[in-house]
Amino acid sequence: MKVYQSNELRNITLMGSAGSGKTTLAEAMLFESGVIKRRGDVENHNTVSDYYPIEHEQERSVFSTVLHVEFNDKKINIIDTPGLDDFSGGVISAMSVTGSAVITINSTQGVEVGTQILSRHAKRLNQPLLIAVNQLDQEKANFEKTLEELKELYGAKAVIVQYPVNAGVGFNQVIDVLKMKLYKWGPEGGVPEILEIPDSEKEKADELHNALVEAAAENDESLMEMYFDKGTLTEEEMRNGIRKGIIARDLYPIFCTSGKKNMGIRRMMEFVGNVAPNPTQLKPPVDINGKEVICDAAGKTSLFIFKTSVEEHLGEVLYFKVMSGKVSEGMDLINSKRGGKERISQIFAVAGKNRVKLTEMVAGDIGALVKLKETKTNHSLTDKDMSPFPPMVFPAPKYRTAIKPINEADDEKLSETLNRIHEEDPTIIVEYSKELKQTIIYGNGEFHLNSMKWRLSNIFKIETEFIAPKIPYRETITKAAQADYRHKKQSGGAGQFGEVHMIIEPYYENMPAPSSYKVNGKDLSVNVRGTEEHKLSWGGKLVFVNCIVGGSIDARFHPAIFKGIMEKMEEGPLTGSYARDIRVMIYDGKMHPVDSNEISFKLAGRNAFSQAFKLAGPKIMEPIYNVEIFVPSEYMGDVMSDLQGRRAIIAGMNSEAGYEKISAKVPLAEMNKYSTSLSSITSGSATYTMEFDEYMPVPGDVQEKLLKAYEKEYQEVE
């Protein structure tokens, strides 16, 4: 393979809802360009994409796959991405390094909720879009309805370049209103016969051609002037205008394809090569300091690693984009995150598990590296004195579960393997919760984490089980309370003695200094000698106030009292959860000249705090999440009813591109396996996002259940 220059490169993300035919379309592109000699299919598990065993078993994409084709003296790098929202990490990492995206639409299903999700990702990443209305050979293919839904989603930006003459079982003709020709295929697809547009379609084609000319002219003032002067534009002028519209995300050209029958593929690749932007025509990326990095082969070398995978017999494979300069075999680059050098030993152009060895790649190209020491996803490899690129930002995970090995001997191996999986897929987040005493894994859905579990069992040979994750509750108080505790122990020799008197109250920011209290029918005054504010790692604060007068407790014992209180803050008196937002006043106590020591005052402080806490209107707080659900209107009632059963508070409802959007605040305790329930309720047509919002008090009946459950668990441990 030759070394392609930056202006000869095109990088596209191939994306679409599950079942829209992306992998089959990619297979046809590889076949038409000669990368493969025979087309595989998903059913026979022999496609270039979807080559992992789990993808064969489930007959769907789980990982993004890097591909390339050479067509008309251009190299088109293609990243075929999964269709399920569970695996959106692969879509986002692909769009982070490509210049445009081809979004496939199943013409029998039209615009689906997955289409909308992908469109939102593309908007956030400012990714230009091309649209392939696919599977036009299917019995229920409906181009007109699909077009109507595309117009509803994208407005006037969705512009026809091609439309089918005979969508359905006999599909084999499209009219291209840019070329103003009819394309007709034989039964095997491939190279079409190019004909004049028949009279029966001439009026419609002319109308759509004029609409395309106007859309192209709108993106360039000089073209608009030409259009007004001549009433039309040449094909080359239209290409320039369309390209500018694509880059500005003001124009989404629509193409017609059948990946299964290999129809429309060559023309779409031709368009990508001629019209889609090359890397030098896109807005330059910026480094972490906000400095633009120009895509110039003559500049300093910088690479960005956007994907990591582990391949059998090869080990770790790192997929990269040359952001600037050139990369060649034997080159030393700096891992700007780790600071160490990495020697580039081998460079590959990639087509799934097939790789072509190269000696060099230039700015804008995408390839793979092997045998690097410390480089991972989101790392940058650069020349000296260059800053790294910012890491990719993925959506917050919306599914969580606890995991443990079936065999306890695999505990350490599981921990190492989970960290390795996270490096491959940053959307799987692994956390050992000291608070919950569980290993918690977060992902984008139940299927996402089940796929990970499959890999643990079948690839890494670690049998695991998912268990319900505990909820990270918080404990606090609602009123002031007083308690004192004397710790006294005598067992021969030196004894233990410490007595602590304290008042506790709820804390809020900028509250006034304490002065007097009325608790348990008594009036108590305090004199503040010193205040310490401690920001807690789990949220909130503990404010420790020294109000000791007359030296009843020596200052050297104050840290021990604080330590005892903190121990109980870390294991709250109600359910063992973290406590927060409490102010403690130590105002009196007693010492013994011989028997007082640090352990005595730590225990006295701990127990006095625990007693006061239970008298201070204790309250359990639960994490509340902002949840946004996108659902077809026909399922709205069922979804609302389900949310009400989950103690949700509906914050708002509105329509967005044909779907209803429900905004709600829902307790995390009620969101366990919600993705599965929502899919069941809506036949898989709805999706949702969730993000932590705040802690709120649990209802009284829920608190009672939690207290009883904790008491029972505590008794069982005892």
Per residue in 558-595, pLDDT tens? Answer: 999 999 999 999 999 899 899 999 999 999 999 998 88
Residues in the chain: 718
Distances (CA, A) of 34 to 37, 176, 333, 351: 6, 24, 34, 12
Give the Cα separation of 381 and 551 in Å (integer).
62
Q: Which domains does the chain have, with CATH numbers?
A: 6-195+249-281 (3.40.50.300), 303-382 (2.40.30.10), 399-470 (3.30.70.870), 475-617 (3.30.230.10), 620-702 (3.30.70.240)
545/381 Cα distance (integer angstroms): 51
Q: What confidence tier does 342 reach under pLDDT thresholds 50, 70, 90?
A: very high
Pairing assessment for the beta strands 438-443 and 399-405 based on DSSP bridges: antiparallel
User: Is residue 251 within 8 Å of 128, Cβ to Cβ?
Assistant: no
- In what side-by-side order are the strands of the sheet with 541-546? 481-489, 496-506, 582-590, 541-546, 530-535
pLDDT class of 714 with cuts at 50, 70, 90: low
Residue type, 560: A
Q: What is the DSSP string of 410-424?
A: GHHHHHHHHHHHHHH
Query: Using CA atoms, how far apart are residues 376 and 319, in angstroms rounded to an integer?
Result: 10
The string of DSSP letters for 144-185 reads HHHHHHHHHHHGGGEEESEEESS-STT--EEEETTTTEEEE-
Say what the pLDDT of residue 322 is. Answer: 97
Q: Are 73 and 10 in contact (CB under 8 A)?
A: no
What pLDDT shows up at residue 378?
Answer: 93
As a whole number, mean pLDDT of residues 126-141 equals: 95
Burial label for 337, CB within 10 Å (0-12, 13-18, 19+), is: middle
**Span of 276-285, 342-351, 452-461, 517-526 with lowest mean pLDDT:** 517-526
Distance, in Å, from the CA atom of 69 to the CA atom of 549, rounded to the nearest integer, reads: 82
For residues 25 and 257, give the distance between their C-alpha atoms in angstroms, rounded to a whole number.
8
- For 373-417, write each residue's pLDDT tens digit: 889 999 999 998 899 999 999 988 888 999 999 999 999 999 999
CA distances 96 to 64, 180, 285, 389, Å, are 13, 35, 10, 11
* Residue 116, pLDDT score: 87
Kind and range of the H or E run holding 598: helix 598-615
Q: Please determine, for residue 718, whether its predicted confidence score (pLDDT) is greater than 50.
A: no
User: Which of 37-51, 174-188, 299-313, 334-348 has the highest mean predicted lDDT (pLDDT)?
Assistant: 174-188
On whether the pTM is more than 0.75, the answer is yes
pLDDT at 304 over 60: yes
Q: How far apart are CA 292 and CA 300, in angstroms?
A: 13
Q: What is the DSSP string of 427-473?
A: TSEEEEETTTTEEEEEESSHHHHHHHHHHHHHTS---EEEEPPPP--
For the ranges 51-65, 279-293, 596-610, which has the lowest average pLDDT? 51-65
Q: Do 673 and 627 meet the contact criterion of CB atoms below 8 Å apart?
A: no
- Distance CA(517)–CA(495), nearest Å, equals 34
> Is the pLDDT reported for residue 221 higher than 90?
no
Stretch 614-635: mean pLDDT, rounded?
93
The closest of 486, 499, 474, 481 to 613, measured between CA atoms, is 481
Average pLDDT, the chain: 91
Beta bridge partners of 10: 76
Which tokens hold the place of 426? 């940053």
User: Do residues 636 and 659 touch, judged by C-beta distance below 8 A?
Assistant: no
- Confidence (pLDDT) at 232: 78
Core vs surface per residue 284-319: b (16+ CB within 10 A) or e: ebebeeeeebebbbebbbbbbbbbbbeeeeeebbbb
Give the containing element (helix H, strand E) for 211: helix 199-217
Which residue is listed with tokens 């008491």? 711
Work out the burial of residue 455: count CB atoms within 10 Å of its CB; fewer than 13 is exposed, 13-18 middle, 19 or more buried. buried
The number of beta carbons lying within 10 Å of the beta carbon of residue 138 is 19
Find the helix packing angle between 199-217 and 221-230, rounded to 10°. Answer: 140
Q: For 230-287, give the DSSP string.
A: HSS--HHHHHHHHHHHHHTTS-EEEEE-BTTTTBSHHHHHHHHHHTSPPGGGSPPPB-
Q: 217: buried, middle or exposed (CB in 10 Å: 19+, 13-18, 0-12)?
A: buried
Strand partners, 544: 532, 584
The answer for residues whose C-beta is within 8 angstroms of residue 559's C-beta and 6 or more apart is 598
For residue 419, count CB atoms less than 10 angstroms from its CB and return exposed for 0-12, middle for 13-18, buried for 19 or more.
exposed
pLDDT value at residue 717: 47
Q: Which residues have a Cβ under 8 Å from the Cβ of 446 and sit 6 or more positions away?
A: 86, 399, 673, 675, 676
Between these two residues, 641 and 42, which has the higher pLDDT value? Answer: 641
Average pLDDT over residues 479-489: 93
What's the chain's Rg over C-alpha atoms? 32
d(CA 200, CA 203): 7
**Helix, strand, coil percent content, the chain, rounded in steps of 5:** 30, 30, 35
Q: Which residues contact 450 (CB under 8 A, 6 or more apart)?
A: none
Is a pLDDT exceeding 90 seen at residue 114? no
Q: Token pair for residue 132?
A: 């392939």
- DSSP structure class, residue 374: S
Residue 519 tokens, joined: 């608790």
Query: Cβ neighbours of residue 541 under 8 Å, at least 6 residues apart?
Result: 507, 533, 534, 535, 580, 581
Interstrand relation of 474-476 and 659-667 (parallel, antiparallel or unpaired) = unpaired
Q: Could you give the 3-state DSSP secondary structure of residue 650?
A: strand
Pick the more confident residue, 300 or 523: 300
Lowest-confidence region among 256-270, 548-562, 704-718? 704-718
Structure tokens at 472: 């990270």
- Percent residues over pLDDT 70 in the chain: 99
What is the predicted pLDDT for the residue at 716?
52
Which range has the worst mean pLDDT, 5-14, 564-573, 656-665?
656-665
Q: Are strands 173-176 and 162-164 parallel, antiparallel or unpaired?
A: antiparallel
- Which of 120, 153, 102, 140 lies closest to 256 in space, CA to CA? 102
Comparing C-alpha atoms, which of 370, 376, 317 is closest to residue 346?
A: 370
Could you tell me the maximum CA-CA distance found in the chain, to the nearest angstrom?
A: 112
For 15-29, 30-44, 97-111, 297-311, which range has the lowest pLDDT when averaged over its residues?
30-44
Alpha carbon distances (Å) from 590 to 145, 206, 491, 713: 83, 97, 20, 36
pLDDT band at 492 (very low <50, low <70, confident <90, very high): low
Q: Which is more confident, 201 or 659?
A: 201
Q: How far is CA 150 from CA 126, 163, 529, 629, 658, in A?
A: 19, 14, 69, 21, 10
